């Protein structure tokens, strides 16, 4: 079934793999992972020929690796921030990485010069940062626990714009011309970014429990058209911004398992990523599994075996050949389950075939 041992194509997993249950899916292990759980991770944009992976961690570090077709990873560089890293994003040309931290700052890491400079500031930890590549402007969007959303030119110390949020920013996503922000108190705000950022809609979350992650999806014409929202109660909502039919919006359960005496164990959805080519999606959770889904056919395409710790983040590379996911403790079971002996892992999986949508008859 699997031929050459490479990432992409009809690939294989032969490489050196750890013993289960650390790596039950026998995926490629990234070398020199962070010392603590990964809190943010992104692949380089399609503008770069090579694949680079950036990961930020609760150990306040940001690391960069080059990912080769063989599945081998080469550590390129590491930077240390003034506090735990809460988000990372790439500039569209792949020359810079922005790093949001609990130290209330966003730093810009220029990869060519290897210099780091501060480009944004809030009054509380910054939970999200996203690069906005508009038709007539580019900027950095930051969302903070200080209940503001700010837009930065990055060359000037003051923001171009600051928007008051109803509550603390918990999650956000940008796919120009759309931005979506999820806050505490189960608020979801949708912004149109054309010309300048303006609020398009404010909604109450369709999920009863706190949301943790949001990801924008596109329609068949590659236009951003809706979002998937994941909550701490093992559930994802698929929401269209302007549904043609109200039944287009739905929620589904995930990251749950049958516990003892007939009860169900319910885990948080920690991250959601849409496949850049197929438009299918991956979810990862505190149950230590990843799952692939086809939202249009409303079916699950694949579920992984359970890792021995939570999966905290996931992402696809630009051409959709590689799925990356991070394994580490997320404090979902409290301090008594924290085992400092267990390390953090980042795994890479060849995924293009597994994420193909269900064939429609």
Domain assignments of the chain as residue spans, ordered by start? 205-333+342-360
Kindly report the pTM of this predicted structure.
0.93
3-state SS string over 190-209? EEECCCCCEEEEEEECCCCC
- Res 8: pLDDT: 53
Burial 273-293 (b: 16+ CB within 10 A, else e): bbbbebbbbbbbbbbbbbbbb
Rounded distance between C-alpha atoms, residue 31 and residue 74, angstroms:
7
- Res 12: pLDDT: 42
Residue that the structure tokens 């930051």 belong to:
142
| Distance (Å) of CA 20 to CA 25, 41, 109, 254 | 8, 24, 36, 23
Q: Please tell me the number of Cα atoms within 13 Å of 7 on its side-chain side.
A: 25
Block mean pLDDT (10 aa), the chain, length 361: 44 44 93 97 97 98 95 95 98 98 98 96 98 95 98 94 98 98 98 96 97 97 97 98 95 91 92 98 97 97 96 98 97 92 96 91 51
Give the 3-state secondary structure of residue 335.
helix
- Res 2: pLDDT: 31
- Res 53: pLDDT: 98
- Per CATH, domain 205-333+342-360 is 2.130.10.10: yes
Radius of gyration (C-alpha) of the chain in whole angstroms? 19
Rounded distance between C-alpha atoms, residue 336 and residue 355, angstroms:
37
């Amino acid at each position: 079934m699997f031929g050459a041992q490479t990432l992409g194509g009809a690939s294989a997993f032969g490489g050196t793999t750890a013993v289960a249950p650390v790596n039950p899916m026998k995926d490629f292990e990234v070398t020199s992972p962070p010392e603590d759980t990964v809190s943010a991770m992104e692949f380089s944009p399609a503008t770069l020929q090579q694949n680079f992976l950036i990961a930020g961690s609760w150990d306040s570090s940001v690391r960069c690796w080059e990912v080769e077709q063989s599945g081998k990873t080469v550590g390129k560089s590491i930077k240390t921030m003034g506090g735990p890293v809460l988000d990372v994003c790439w500039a569209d040309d792949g020359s810079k990485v922005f790093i949001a931290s609990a130290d209330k700052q966003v730093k810009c890491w220029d990869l060519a010069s290897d210099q780091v400079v501060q480009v944004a500031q809030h009054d509380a930890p910054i939970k999200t940062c996203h690069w906005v590549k508009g038709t007539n402007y580019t900027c950095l969007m930051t969302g903070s626990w200080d209940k503001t959303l700010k837009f930065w030119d990055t060359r000037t110390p003051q923001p171009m714009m600051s928007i008051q949020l109803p509550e603390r920013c918990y999650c956000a996503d940008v796919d120009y011309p759309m931005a979506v922000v999820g806050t505490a108190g189960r608020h979801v705000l949708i912004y149109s970014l054309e010309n300048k950022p303006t609020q398009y809609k404010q909604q109450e979350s369709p999920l009863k429990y706190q949301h943790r992650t949001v990801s924008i999806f596109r329609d068949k014409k590659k236009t951003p058209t809706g979002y998937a929202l994941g909550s701490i109660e093992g559930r994802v909502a698929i929401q269209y911004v302007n549904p043609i039919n109200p039944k287009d919006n739905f929620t589904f359960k995930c990251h749950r398992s049958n516990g003892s005496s007939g009860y169900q164990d319910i885990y948080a959805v920690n991250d959601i990523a849409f496949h850049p080519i197929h438009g299918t999606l991956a979810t990862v959770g505190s149950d230590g599994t990843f799952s692939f889904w086809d939202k249009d056919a409303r079916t699950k395409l694949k579920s992984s075996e359970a890792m021995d710790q939570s999966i905290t983040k996931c992402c696809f590379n630009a051409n959709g050949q590689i799925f990356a996911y991070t394994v580490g403790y997320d404090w979902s079971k409290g301090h008594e389950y924290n085992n400092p002996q267990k390390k953090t892992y980042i795994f890479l999986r060849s995924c293009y075939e597994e994420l193909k949508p269900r064939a429609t008859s």
